[in-house]
Amino acid sequence: MSSKLIEFIRDMYSTTEFIPLHAPSFSGNERKYVVDAIESTYVSSVGKYVNEFERRIEAYTGAERAVATVNGTAALHTALYLAGVTRNDLVITQALTFVATCNAIAQLGAKPVFVDVSKVSLGLCPTALQEFLTEYASVDKEGACRLVATNERIRAVVPMHTFGHPVQIDELLDVCKRWSIELVEDAAESLGSFYKGRHTGTHGRFSALSFNGNKIITTGGGGMVLCRKDADGKRAKHITTTAKVPHEFEYFHDEQGFNYRLPNINSALGCAQMESLERYVEKKRVLAAKYEAFFSGTDFHFFVEPDYAKSNYWLNAVLTPDKDARDNLLKETNGQGVMTRPVWTLMHRLPMFCSSVRGDLSISEWAEAHIVNIPSSPVWEGLL
């Protein structure tokens, strides 16, 4: 398999050089807008591109309000903060995620709790969530969901749209409603992905996007808080800009805030990247279809979008027949300059989260043993 796959990928990207997992592309107005930002001298926290980038994300996603932040972790931290997550709370999420999901929870003094993912989406499984809550939680007289063993408050659930594939959001929202828990979407990887026609990150009250260098569009570093309500958006803007009360010259801050505003120079890059987003999604979907055809009829299973979703296929994933095949594929491809990688080490194996409360994680562990992420750049070198 390895040598055939390497040949296939080299052929697709028409190169004998190193092939990265995901390279950014700047073929539109990036230079023009960034130079314009520099020439205006507004490169930092104020400038027209910040507002423009937020409006473009709102228009594309359908979010009521989008607030730009310095990175996706900051966006998630803000989203959780505004959802009311506070010290000693518990926040349920998936063990199969990038560490930033859990770091944002821990930054608030809260603790992550791990529940299994679904084989359909690789994101948080609604059945596993319901079963976990039925076994370990109850809702008290005040309507607060608590872990029975410790009486700790379960404040939020954070599903993550793994590799861009939307989770079963309606079912998750149903469970959260039944148990009085806020749902915050970690949509860092899923800009351009839709659940039943509606953009990911617009189902929960708050959610977070990332524009890190490896994402479908990039601002160098950057993120966005998406809010379903205008009032929440105003609050997100306030809290991410040091909670300064607008005034011509006075500096008054009415609460403790964060300095999370995305600089104008990064936002300029974001405005230009948004002009290419639709094209990137289409190219990624063509690339995924090519991979799917390549792996069909083999004992390697290419992971495809759930039938309720249109995915951005941010990072393509193949499931190998067993762990040896996974290790072999990783070794051979990386050894020959075609970058691949295993999925993240599961969060409950990391030293800072290893004592976290968790349910059964057998699907997450199965996924960890079988997944290999393969090159996914939408526009790179010879790729059409």
Least separation in angstroms between CB 246 and ligand PLP: 27
Please identify, among the stretches 70-78, 257-265, 299-307, 351-359, the one whose residues bind ligand PLP according to the rule CB under 6 A.
70-78
Size of the site for ligand PLP (CB under 6 A): 15
Structure-block tokens of residue 22: 């995901």
Least separation in angstroms between CB 15 and ligand PLP: 26
Least separation in angstroms between CB 193 and ligand PLP: 13
- Name the 3-class secondary structure at 277: helix
Contact with ligand PLP (CB under 6 A) among 100, 147, 226, 329: 100
Task: Confirm or reject binding of residue 72 to ligand PLP (CB under 6 A).
Answer: yes
Structure-block tokens of residue 333: 């491809």
Rg (CA), the chain: 21
Q: Which of residues 162-201 bind ligand PLP (CB under 6 A)?
A: 186, 188-189
Q: Distance of CA 190 to CAs 65, 91, 169, 182, 203, Å?
A: 17, 21, 13, 20, 13
Task: Confirm or reject binding of residue 212 to ligand PLP (CB under 6 A).
Answer: yes
The H or E element containing residue 319 is strand 316-319
- Tell me the sheet residues that pair with 301: 319
Q: Which is nearer to ligand PLP, 71 or 340 (CB)?
A: 71
Least separation in angstroms between CB 306 and ligand PLP: 17
Task: Confirm or reject binding of residue 73 to ligand PLP (CB under 6 A).
Answer: yes
Task: Confirm or reject binding of residue 101 to ligand PLP (CB under 6 A).
Answer: yes
Identify which of 365, 369, 349, 348 has the alpha carbon closest to the alpha carbon of residue 357: 348
Contact with ligand PLP (CB under 6 A) among 33, 81, 98, 380: 98
**Residue entry with tokens 């039943």:** 196
Least separation in angstroms between CB 21 and ligand PLP: 13
Task: Confirm or reject binding of residue 233 to ligand PLP (CB under 6 A).
Answer: no
Chain length of the chain: 384
Please identify, among the stretches 8-16, 27-35, 66-74, 175-183, the one whose residues bind ligand PLP according to the rule CB under 6 A.
66-74
- In our burial notation (b when 16+ CB lie closer than 10 A, e otherwise), range 88-107 reads ebbbbbbbbbbebbbbbbbe
Asked whether the CA dihedral 249, 250, 254, 259 is positive or negative, the reply is positive
Q: What is the DSSP string of 62-83?
A: --SEEEEESSHHHHHHHHHHHT
Distance (Å, whole) CA 314 – CA 190: 7
- Tell me the sheet residues that pair with 146: 138, 153
Q: Which is nearer to ligand PLP, 224 or 318 (CB)?
A: 224
Contact with ligand PLP (CB under 6 A) among 25, 61, 71, 333: 71
Least separation in angstroms between CB 162 and ligand PLP: 8
Task: Confirm or reject binding of residue 204 to ligand PLP (CB under 6 A).
Answer: no
Q: Which amino acid, residue 317?
A: A
The contact set with ligand PLP (CB under 6 A) reads 71-73, 76, 97-98, 100-101, 160, 186, 188-189, 210, 212, 223
